Amino acid sequence: MMPSINIEETFQKFVGLRVLIVGDVMVDSYVTGKVDRVSPEAPVPVVDVKKFDSRLGGAGNVALNIKAMGGIPIICSVIGRDKEGESLKTLLEKEGIYAKALLESEKRKTTTKTRVIGNNHQLVRFDYEDKTDLDSVDAYLLDEHYHRELENCDIVIFEDYNKGVLSKQNIQKYIAAATDAGIPTVVDPKKSNFMEYQGTTLFKPNFKEMKEGLGIETELDTLDEIEEAIVELEKNLKNKRTLVTLSERGVIISDEGSFHRKPAHIRNISDVSGAGDTVISVASLCVALGLNPSITAELSNLAGGLVCEERGVVPIQKERLLSEAKRVFNQS
């Protein structure tokens, strides 16, 4: 049975929550055009370019989702002192997103993913990035930014895309600092640092990431098997709760020894890109308010499904999510 909640009131409480987002911020660029011939130089399509577009990606897309829900995102990251970095700063400024904890480094590249789209199909992607860990100077400067901003936030999101901002050297001390300050932490992990996130409030891998992180090679076809994997994960990480996204099977969240599974809602799926960013964003706001895990899972599941109906990486539309949530919680 779903716990009682006033959806309208809850969404109002999201407004003004300060969310510190630590991790890999990037630019998602799109080159879009029409293909009607093959190149005479090589057997590749020729794209007649119609549009160039750049958007915030990675931790930047999480920031957009937090802002869309009425929260105040604070980006804490490292970018290069390059033209891609200038583009990223322009995008942040355009969106009114706080960027004073954004460190510019001569030694880094600003992660940029450029997708070439022809006739509504992705043809190729170019990645411009630096995956190495921060050097000692950049790590020290990032530490200063983090501890300064931590003093005035309601929750911390660790958005890890394995691009070097988060590492074995800083993850544990960042979690410890937040825990000591009584600030909850949520994690969107990737493979390299998967087991470094000890003692977080909420850990949110997708199904594939959980299997890889635990070294599981079996299919995990049943709900019991998935729950057993989550129990094993929590033994290793000693985290409070785990939210696992299961693609077309919805989501499942742990709740102090029990589990809540929320099936996926029927959608016209257009693009799953960025859905995980939306899920972690809505989940973090729920955690910041101390909402029941079942409600956290339901709202996050709804939000992730809604953005999959949009093409490209886009943030959630708050009013649309509110309308869907009212319907699901019978408060229309």
Spatial separation of the C-alpha atoms in residues 50 and 36, rounded to whole Å: 13
CB 19 within 8 A of CB 71: yes
Helix (H, G, I), strand (E, B) or coil at 76: strand
CA distance 108 to 271: 30
Tell me how far apart the alpha carbons of residues 255 and 3 are, in angstroms, rounded to a whole number. 13
Under 8 Å between Cβ of 278 and 243: no
Cα 313 off chain centre by: 11
DSSP lists the bridge partners of residue 31 as 52, 116
Q: Which residues pair with 261 in a beta bridge?
A: 252
Q: What are phi and psi of 76, to 5 degrees?
A: -120, 105
DSSP 206-268: BHHHHHHHHT--S---SHHHHHHHHHHHHHHH--SEEEEE-GGG-EEEEETTEEEEEPPPP--
Spatial neighbors of 252 by CB under 8 A, at least 6 apart, are 223, 226, 227, 230, 243, 244, 246, 259, 260, 261, 262, 297
In Å, how far from its chain's centre is CA 28?
14
Could you confirm whether 277 is annotated as catalytic? yes
Nearest one of 203, 201, 145, 205 to 170, comparing CA atoms: 145
Catalytic residues: 277
